Amino acid sequence: MFGRIGTTGLLVIALTACGGGDGSAEVGPTGGKAAPPATTSAGTSATTSSAPATTAPQQSPVQRVLGRMSVEEKVGQLFMPVLYGTAADTVSGENQARYAARTPAKVIAKYHLGGVILFPHNVKSTAQVVGLNNGMQRASKEVPLLIGTDQENGLVSRMSALMTDFPGASEIGATKDTDLSRQVARATGEELGALGVNLDFAPVADVNVNPRNPVIGRRAFGDDPQKVARMVAAAVKGFGEAKIAATAKHFPGHGDTSVDSHTGLPVIKHTRAEWERIDAPPFKAAIDAGVDAVMSAHIVFPKLDPSGDPATLSKPILTGLLREKLGFKGVISTDALNMGGVRKKYDDGEIAVRAVLAGADLLLMPNDLPKAYDAVLAAVKSGRISKERLDQSVTRLLTLKQKRGLLTGAPVASAERAAEVLRSPEHRKLAARA
């Protein structure tokens, strides 16, 4: 609908909003030219010099972009699917089958996507990933993309073929060295940024109090809430220093379960008091440290919401606890919507709608993107999701993009720079020390 707005363009818009630049007559409240100021018999303006000059309030870059978007483009901003191919113009049968579009670039344009998540099948070499990310950014004509990945280090490391092999959270947590947590997160962020990735789904903020936990385990910093909180806060600060968006996960806390939410629906029986003592502290610490996003968990928490819906679809949890009790103002991301834990009760379209109604802003990896996109769009047009609610989510996503410098133009990664940063001697030394 509209192209990117560069710095010069913002200046021109600001000047125009203040009434300067083109010498045209002002526009009156009914849309016609405004009448000139009344004059006295002496021919001077009736407006006295003491009257304050009035100008239209200037809109922020986020407001300007939001105001130019169609409903279809706003809905597209909510989605972050996985795409197939190693270049933006790679023809893939998988893309065609899933999205009815043959290349990543065509999928991005078709659905006005707000973001894309990378997996190992997108990775061959440093130069190739840089080219892929640059190409996908060029394909996003309306607003630059959030390009994310799961680079927790350790067990979950999507970019491990290219990046420094840093130890995972449990090893870092065992050192009790918060500065080490910060440094590793910063180095991880620097390497991701060099590749053109601007969002990491890390750090894990779960407190792993169940030794039989099959899905968190060593991905967590430990089993002590206060230690985990300190480590998480330090990691968030490290990602921020690298100018990479960080994501604390999995809210309201996935640590005390023996069921894997990828395939089943875990039920956590903590009381409200136990949640506040065990699960909440790392998320509160992440928020206090300025975390950009918080990811929901596909877990049932009956003492927090007796409905039986997973947290991803729970307004009492996402809006009531995360927004209102903990005061989080950033982006709420779902965990992957193709996981078994969230697909037990509803179809793929209804899941996406209910996640938005619960308070989610970013809909990660829907199992059926066309169905989910159409369902959210229909819900907005019918009023089930109000336009105000949609604008809230898009505003948060655009605010994150502005914070990371994406509203003034898509970032362009450099293969040469990436080759210098990835697995640099400094980073390998840090990994060895960790």
| Residues identified as active-site | 262, 335
Look at strands 293-296 and 156-157 and give their pairing.
Answer: unpaired
Relative to beta strand 245-251, strand 199-200 is: parallel
CA-to-CA distance for 223 and 220, rounded, in angstroms?
A: 8
> What is the three-class DSSP state of 363?
strand
Structure tokens that stand for 433 in this block: 């020390």
- CB 153 within 8 Å of CB 188: yes
Return the closest-CA partner of residue 276 out of 326, 319, 335. 326
Measured CA to CA, the distance from residue 18 to residue 414 in angstroms comes to 38
| Among 279, 181, 290, residue whose Cα is nearest residue 232 | 181
Tokens of 272: 């409200």
Contacts of 433 (CB under 8 A, 6+ apart): 180
Amino acid sitting at position 191: E
Spatial separation of the C-alpha atoms in residues 373 and 353, rounded to whole Å: 9
Q: 318: closest CA among 356, 349, 367?
A: 356
